[in-house]
Structure 1
Amino acid sequence: MALQCEIAHEVRYDRKNYFYPDTPKNYQITQYTHPLGAGGCLELPSGRRVSITRLHVEEDSAKMVHQGSDSLAGSTHSLVDFNRAGIPLAEIVSEPDMRSGAEAAEYGRELQKILRYVGASDGNMAEGSMRLDINVSIRPRGEEGLRPKVEVKNVNSFKSVQQAVDFEVVRQARAYDAGEAVRQETRMWDEKELASKLMRVKEGESDYRYFPEPDVPPLALASSVVQAWRATLQELPAAKRARYQDPAGLNLDAETTKFLTDDLAVARFFEAAVEQHGAEPKEAAKWLVGDIAGHLNGNKGRVKEFGKIKLTPAGLAELVGLIGQGKITGKIAKELLPELLDEWEGGEEGAVLDLVQARGLEAITDPAVIAALVQKVLEANPEKVEDFRGGKTKLLGFFVGMVLKESGSRANPEVVQSLTVEALNGA
C-alpha cells in the first residue's frame, strides 16, 4: 500500500523448482502468477518516478558463505547457513526506470525509509533485513526494447549499489564495443576488487517449471479488510518532506528536511516538540540538525543513537523557549546539552529551567550589572581601549568576548555589544 500497489483480492502461491545448494528441497514457495501487489510506484527525492512491477511473498533461501579466499572466485569451498531458510520475505520488483548507479542507490535509500516508516522492516542491510539485487541492461540511445540483463548479487550497502551499477554499465558497454555478446547471467559483487564476478548463467523462467503450490491454499482478501489496512497507513517520507517544506507551513529548507525525515524517530521527536510542546519549528530543527546531531556523531558523548538520548521533546521545546525568552544564552544551552542528552533524568515541564536555576546559569539581563562588567574589562585593558579609539575598531569583538567570559557566558551578547560600544565611545 505504501508503494501505491494494487492489492490482490486473492493470495495464491506457486512452487518454483530449481537445484542449488541454498535450497536443499529443490523448490521454493513463491508467488508467480498472483503477486500480493502490482502496479505501484515510488517517487525519489530527486524527482525520478520509479514504477513498481510487483511485490510478492516467498520463502528465503539459505546463506552461502565462501571460504578460503576474500573473493568468490578464489574460494576453496562453501558453507551453507540454513538459519534463514524458509523464513517469509517480501520481494519488490521495480521497472527499468533508473538511469544510473546514483539513482539506484537513491531508490534503495527511499525504499528503506518507507519500510521503516510503515514498520515492515528495520531495513538493516548489514544484518540482512533488507537485501538488494540489481539488474543492469544497457542499450544505445534511441533503441527500442531491452537487451539481456545481468543480475548482480552480494550488494551489501547503498555505496556498493552505485559502484556495482556503474561497473556493469562500463563492462557491458566495452563488451558491445568489442563486438561481444552480453549474456543473461548472475554475477557477484566483489567488495575488495570493486568488480562483478560470474556466478552462473541465468536460467529462464521456463526452467523453473512453476506450478500452483499444493500445500498452501489460496486466501481471499475482502475489500473491506484492505480498506481498513489502508486507513492505518501513516504519513510517508515523500508527503512528510512536502509538508515540512511547504512555504505556508513549516517552510524548512531541503537539507534540514532531509535530515529530519530520513529517520522516523527524529521526525516524530521534532513533531512532538513543535506540535505538542510549542517549540518554534526552525529553532527546534536547528538544534536537532546541528548541536544534537554533532553530539551523537562526536567522540565526547556517551550516547551515540538518537533513540537513546535522555532529552525529551518537551525538554527541547523548553530549551528553545528559554533561549527565545532571553532566560538563558545560546552558549549556556550548548554547555548544558551534553548533560541533557547523556544523563538528564528530567522530563517534567519546567525541568530544564529548574536545572538552569540550580546551577545558577540564568541569563544576566540587568543593564547595570552588564555595564559594570564592561567597565571592569575596559579598565583591565587600557592600551587596547586607546587602540580602539585610535581607529582599530575590530577590537570590539575582543572586548565583547572578554565581557561574555567575565559573565560566565550568561550575559546577553546583544546587550553586551551595545553597552560596550557606548563605553568605548565615551557615551
Structure 2
Amino acid sequence: MSYQVTIGIEIHCELKTKTKMFSAAPTSFGALANTKTSVIDLAHPGVLPCVNKEAVRLAIKACGGLHCTIDPLVKFDRKNYYYSDLPKGFQITQQFHPIGRDGYVVIKTDEGEKQVRIERIHMEEDTAKQFHKDTGTYIDFNRAGTPLIEIVSRPDMHSAQEAAAYVEALRRTLFYLNVSDVKMEEGSMRCDVNISLSDDPNKLGTKVEIKNLNSIANVQKAVQAEIERQSALLDAHEPIIQSTRRFDEPSKTTVLMRKKEGNVDYKYFPEPNIFPIQLDEQWIESILNHLEELPEQRLERFMTTFGLNEYDASVMVNDRDMADFFEEVMKDTKEAKKAANWVIGDLSAWLNKNNKTFATNPCKATDIARLVNLIEEGTISGKQAKEVFEEVMTGKKPDDVIQEKGMQQVSDDSTLIAMINEVLDANPQSIEDYKNGKNRAVGFLMGQLMKASKGQANPKKANGLLVEELKKR
C-alpha cells in the first residue's frame, strides 16, 4: 500500500565567526580538546554573556538569502534541560522571537521546481561534544558556545529525493553567502529529519525523528530507509512509535535511540542577562544590499553571459570554488564551452586523482585559458593539449612545454600538401579504395599522415587538403 509521506527538516548551522556567540573564546575545529573555552562557556558563577555582533550580521545574511522576514528586535530565551554536553544546564536560544520567519528554498524535482517553505531561523549557542569510548564518555567543551542558526522547514517534502535536494540547496546558499563553511563531515552543518507516514492524505501520521545526519547522501538514504520501515509496519497493521532514531550506515537502516512519550517541557523563559536589542534598520538594509551573488543567480548568468548549457553551468555552480576558477579562466579566453570542458573534465579529474580540490588547486587559470586558446588557434591538437596539461600541472607554462617538446602544430598549406602527397604516393591502394567509394580510406590516410607528421599536422586543415589531393589523383 502507498502512504502519504510528510517530511520536515531542522538544520543546525555553525556561523563563520572568529569568536563564540556570547564570549570572546575562539571558534576552532580540530583544536586540542578543552583549549578553546572561557569561563562564560563553562558557566562559572557570576559571568555574563555578551552578544556577538558578527553572528547577528551573518544570521541576517542567511535570512536575506533564504527570503525570510527579519525581526529587527533581537531577543533571547533560555531553554532549560540537563545533559552532560550542556555546561550551563540551559541553552541560550530564540524560542519566542526568531530573527527570521516565513522564508523559502527552491528545489528541483522530477516534476519541476518546487518551493519548500522555511518556518523560522533562530540564533543560539552550540553544545559541547561527547565522545563515547570503551573507557567511558569524554566531553570536549571547545564547541560549547559556538554561534549557530537553526533553520526549521515547513513539512513540505514528500520523498527522500526532495529531502536531499532541500538540504543541498540550503547548504549551497549558505556557502555562497559566506555564512558558514557548511562542512557536514566536521559537524558545522547538522541535519535532523522528521518523517511521518499516513494512509489519509489529509492527516499526518506519527512523527519519527532521525538525528544528526552528516552528509547529503545519508539524508537521502536515511529518509528512504525510514519510509520503508514505517511502510512495512503500517502494512502489518502495527503502530508507529514516536521516537528518535539514528542512521546506521553499515546496515543502511535507522536504529532506535529513545522513545518519546510527548513533547519535552523545556520551561522556556526570556534570558534575563541579555536585554532586548533593537537593530538599526539602516544596518540591516546595508547587509541585505551587499549580499553575495546567490547560486541561482550565478547559474542564470553563466547560461546567459557565457552561453553554457544548464548541465555544465549547474556542475560548476554547485562547487563555488570551481565556478570562481572558471570565471578567472574566462578573463583570458572567449571559448566558454571549451574552457568549461577542461575545468569540469580534465582539471577536475586531476584534482580528484591527487586528493585536491579547487580550493587547493595548484593550476593557474591563465594557463588553462592559454591551453584553450592554443587549441583554438591550431597551434596544438586536442590530443597534444592533454600531454601539455600534465606538464602544466607540475608548474610549467603551456608555451614552454610546447617549445620543449617541439609540438607546434603544422598548419601551413604547402607543408601539409607536401606531406599528404608523400603519404598518397606510399599508399596507392588507398587511393583506389577512395575512388571506389570506400570513404574509410580517408581515415586510414589521415592516420598515416598524423604518424608521418608525429602528430603535428593540423587535423582539421589536413583532412580538407587530403580530400582535395585525393580528388586530383
Normalising by structure 2, we get a TM-score of 0.79
Equivalent residue in structure 1 for 2:335, among 280, 285, 299: 280
Q: Could you list the per-position Cα deviations for residues 260-301 of structure 1 after superposition, in whole angstroms to 9, with x for gaps in the alignment?
A: 101111212222333x33422222212212222233234xxx
| 2:278 aligned partner, one-letter code | A
Aligned to 1:60: 126
* Aligned pairs for 1:130-149 within 5 A: 130-144=189-203, 146-149=204-207
Whether 1:259 aligns to 2:320 is no
Q: Aligned-pair distance for 1:95? A: 0.9
How far residue 395 of structure 1 moved from its aligned partner, in angstroms, is: 3.0
Map of 2:324 onto structure 1: 268
1:229 is aligned, of 281, 287, 290, to 287
Contact 1:60 1:84 in 2 (8 A): yes
Secondary structure of the structure 1 residue equivalent to 2:182: coil
CA separation in 2, counterparts of 1:204 and 1:223?
Answer: 40
Aligned residue identity for 1:279: K
Partner of 1:40: 103
* Distance in 2 (alpha carbons) for counterparts of 1:338 and 1:319: 11
Matches within 5 A, 1:199-214: 199-202=257-260, 207-214=265-272
184, 188, 208: which one aligns with 1:125: 184
Q: Which residue of 2 aligns with 1:105?
A: 164
Aligned 1:174-213 pairs, distance under 5 A: 174-202=232-260, 207-213=265-271
In structure 2, the partner of 1:315 is 367
- What amino acid does structure 1 have at the position aligned with 2:409? A
Maintained 8 Å contact 1:309/1:342: no
Contact 1:309 1:341 in 2 (8 A): no
Q: Equivalent residues in 2 for 1:25-424 (5 A)?
A: 25-46=88-109, 47-67=113-133, 78-144=137-203, 146-202=204-260, 207-246=265-304, 249-274=305-330, 276-298=331-353, 302=354, 304-344=356-396, 352-353=398-399, 355-357=401-403, 359-424=405-470
Q: Counterparts of 1:118 and 1:199 in 2: how far apart (Å)?
A: 35
State the one-letter code of the partner of 2:96: T
TM-score, length basis structure 1: 0.87
Residues 104-145 of structure 1: CA distance to partner in whole angstroms, max 9, x if unpaired?
11111111111211112222111112111111122235314x
Letter in 2 for 1:8: D
Please give the secondary structure, in 2, of the residue aligned with 1:121.
Answer: coil
Segments of structure 1 that go 5 or more residues without pairing to the other structure are: 69-75, 347-351
Change (3 A) 1:379 1:40: same
2: CA distance between counterparts of 1:230 and 1:202? 41
Kept after mapping to 1: 8 A contact 2:375/2:382: yes
Q: Residues 370 and 9 (structure 1 numbering): CA distance in 2 closer, same or farther, change over 3 Å?
A: same
**In the TM superposition, what is the alpha-carbon distance from 1:402 to its structure 2 partner?**
2.6
Q: Structure 1 107/57 Cα, relative in aligned 2: closer, same or farther at 3 Å?
A: same
Determine the C-alpha separation between the residues in 1 that align with 2:299 and 2:107.
11
> Amino acid of the residue matched to residue 408 of structure 2?
E
1:228 positional shift: 0.6
- Secondary structure, in 3 states, of the residue corresponding to 1:22? coil
Question: 1:30 and 1:184 mapped to 2: Cα distance?
Answer: 25
Q: Distance in 2 between matches of 1:16 and 1:205?
A: 14
Verify the 8 A CA contact 1:303 1:342 in the aligned structure 2.
no
CA distance in 1, matches of 2:372, 2:200: 54
The CA deviation at 1:327 is 2.9
Q: Give the Cα separation in 2 of the matches to 1:204 and 1:31.
A: 22
Instruction: State the superposition RMSD in angstroms.
Output: 2.5
Structure 1 residue 223, shift from structure 2 partner: 0.9
> Higher RCO, 1 or 2 (CA under 8 Å, sep at least 6)?
2
Distance in 1 between residues matched to 2:299 and 2:262, nearest whole Å: 41
- What amino acid does structure 2 have at the position aligned with 1:282? K
Q: Which secondary structure state, in structure 2, belongs to the residue aligned with residue 33 of structure 1?
A: coil
Deviates more, 1:219-228 or 1:204-213: 204-213
Task: Measure the CA separation in 2 of the matches of 1:173 and 1:281.
Answer: 49
Provide the rounded CA distance (Å) in 1 between the counterparts of 2:444 and 2:463: 11
Indicate how the Cα distance of structure 1 residues 238 and 203 shifts in structure 2: closer, same or farther if over 3 A, else same.
farther
- Give the distance between the partners of 2:200 and 2:315, measured in 1 at CA: 36
Tell me how far apart the structure 2 counterparts of residues 389 and 10 of structure 1 sit (CA, whole Å): 86
Q: Which residue of the partner structure matches residue 349 of structure 1?
A: none
In the TM superposition, residue 241 of structure 1 has moved relative to its aligned partner by: 1.6
Q: Which amino acid aligns with 2:146?
A: I
Shift of the 24–197 alpha-carbon distance from structure 1 to 2, 3 Å rule, reads farther
Distance in structure 1 (CA, Å) of the matches to 2:123 and 2:365: 38
Cα distance in 2 for residues equivalent to 1:401 and 1:305: 38
Q: Which amino acid aligns with 1:339?
A: E
Q: Which amino acid aligns with 2:178?
A: G
Looking at structure 1, the residues matched to 176 and 262 of structure 2 have their Cα atoms a distance apart, in angstroms, of 36
AA aligned to 1:101 is A
The secondary structure found in structure 2 opposite 1:25 is: coil
Distance 2:320 2:107 in 1: 17
Q: Deviations over 1:236-266 (max 9, x none)?
A: 11122223334xx433222111111011112
Q: Is the 8 A contact 2:388 2:401 kept in 1?
A: no
Farther off after superposition, 228-237 or 163-172: 163-172
Equivalent-residue separation in structure 2 for 1:204 and 1:61 (angstroms): 23
Structure 2: where are the runs of 5+ without partners? 1-63
Partner residue of 2:41?
none
C-alpha distance in structure 1 between counterparts of 2:174 and 2:133, whole Å: 33
Q: What is the rounded CA distance, in whole Å, between the counterparts of 1:85 and 1:400 in structure 2? A: 69
Between the aligned partners of 2:317 and 2:96, the Cα distance in structure 1 is 36
2:234 maps to a residue whose letter is Y
